[in-house]
Amino acid sequence: MQSSPIPPADTASASTSPTPAASGLNVESDVNLKPYNSFGLPAVARRLVRLRSEADARRVVDHPELGRAPKFVLGGGSNLVLTRDVEPVVLKVEIPGLRVLEERADCWILEAGAGVVWHELVAWSLAQGVPGLENLALIPGTVGAAPVQNIGAYGLELKDRFDSLDAIDFTTGRRVTLDATACRFGYRDSVFKQSGFGGLAGKGVITAVRLRCPKPWQPQLGYLDLQRKMAETGLTAPDARQVFDWVCEIRRAKLPDPARIGNAGSFFKNPVVSAEQCRDIIARDPHIVHYPMPDGSFKLAAGWLIDACGWKGKSVGDAAVYDKQALVLVNRGAARGAEVVTLARAIQESVYGRFGIRLEPEPVVV
């Protein structure tokens, strides 16, 4: 369980090597980050180090200068809005590795390096005959970034399949292994986004993630779009591959492909309100899309709120509201981070003005 696809670090050479070259690290200067963020926003990293193993992460910490420097961890850059050049040292996580770590009577445990593309892990797991991740198909980004915002889609969140992860602590250079409780998962939230008491934001870099896929497999088909697919096809007992195909179809129909149109997925979180607030809002607008939560609160569809305020297709410069899903902001070509932020603020103000709800951005704004 504690093992990693990455061999143990050779820390001795790192701690005695004063220069980046001697430490085995290649520090690149003035790197264009446009290809490394899914929004395609222009920005430059003053210094960038590619982490290809856990040992590389330890080498950074042990390095006499990089060890002390402020750091910025970059995964797939799919949840990021860059508004300026990045002064902290960018650690670009490119750690590979995919394996079925263990097969137990009640589950499979999979392990993936943090630099693996999330969707590749999902596709690979199905090819190994391990179902359970199919609802999370096509989510952009890397495995290492998945726990940070507890990615989720179509009725499933990462936390529902999470076993544990390894990270390198920026202070000690040691590996720490965290279970789900330690990760404090919430809706698009985790301890890695929290900087308050006990929060781990900016404290380390995730190097490997282990997932638990339960046996027997049970499909998660509660989400309305999946119910529609079942009704359309007449397939009431789909296998995991079928669910994977449906999720890919649904996403492709609704969400822009970042390879063609820059975006960072949902730009705002769906707001959660009390039953009383929800009643109040329904009284103002009976059509509002809302979902009851297990704790008695209600989740509102932010996309619907934005759409109702007439934002679909509107733009600031080259930053625009996607015309098929108002929750997604897109780059029409040459958008700058500042334009994305201006557009996002205008949307927040307009939704607040009409519904009294403050939308919270999902991506990290730098």
Active-site annotation, residues: 188, 266, 362
Contact 126, 120 (CB under 8 A): no
First to last CA, the chain: 35
Does 307 interact with ligand EPU (rule: CB under 6 A)?
yes
Q: Which is nearer to ligand EPU, 23 or 266 (CB)?
A: 266
Work out how close the CB of 266 gets to ligand EPU at its nearest, in angstroms, rounded to a whole number: 3
Structure tokens at 65: 């200068």
Computed on alpha carbons and rounded to an integer, the radius of gyration of the chain in Å comes to 21
Taking contact as CB under 6 A, which single stretch among the options 57-65, 230-238, 275-283, 322-330 is the one that binds ligand EPU? 322-330
Q: Which residue has the tokens 């999720």?
A: 247
- Could you tell me how far CA 128 lies from the centroid of its own chain? 24
Contact 140, 33 (CB under 8 A): no
- Footprint of ligand EPU on 250-269 (CB under 6 A): 254-255, 265-266, 269
Give the binding-site size for ligand EPU (rule: CB under 6 A).
17
Q: Interior CA angle at 361 toward 360 and 366, to 5°?
A: 135
Work out how close the CB of 4 gets to ligand EPU at its nearest, in angstroms, rounded to a whole number: 28
| Per-residue x/- track, 140-179, ligand EPU (CB under 6 A) | -------------xx-------------------------
Residue of the chain from 101, 176, 289, 364 that contacts ligand EPU (CB under 6 A): 289
Q: For 80, left (φ over 0), alpha (ψ -120 to 50), or beta?
A: beta
Work out how close the CB of 118 gets to ligand EPU at its nearest, in angstroms, rounded to a whole number: 12
Contact 14, 22 (CB under 8 A): no
- Give the list of residues 6+ apart from residue 337 with CB closer than 8 angstroms, or none: 39, 41, 42, 43, 81, 82, 83, 84, 365, 366
Does 339 interact with ligand EPU (rule: CB under 6 A)?
no
Work out how close the CB of 268 gets to ligand EPU at its nearest, in angstroms, rounded to a whole number: 6
**What are the start-end ranges of the E strands in 118-261?**
152-153, 156-157, 162-169, 175-179, 204-214
Work out how close the CB of 110 gets to ligand EPU at its nearest, in angstroms, rounded to a whole number: 22
Does 364 interact with ligand EPU (rule: CB under 6 A)?
no
Taking contact as CB under 6 A, which single stretch among the options 3-11, 64-72, 236-244, 302-310 is the one that binds ligand EPU? 302-310
Residue of the chain from 121, 137, 148, 326 that contacts ligand EPU (CB under 6 A): 326
Q: Which is nearer to ligand EPU, 23 or 325 (CB)?
A: 325
- Give the list of residues 6+ apart from residue 242 with CB closer than 8 angstroms, or none: 235
Residue of the chain from 4, 38, 207, 270 that contacts ligand EPU (CB under 6 A): 270
| Residues within the interface to ligand EPU (CB under 6 A) | 153-154, 254-255, 265-266, 269-270, 289, 301, 303-304, 307, 325-327, 362
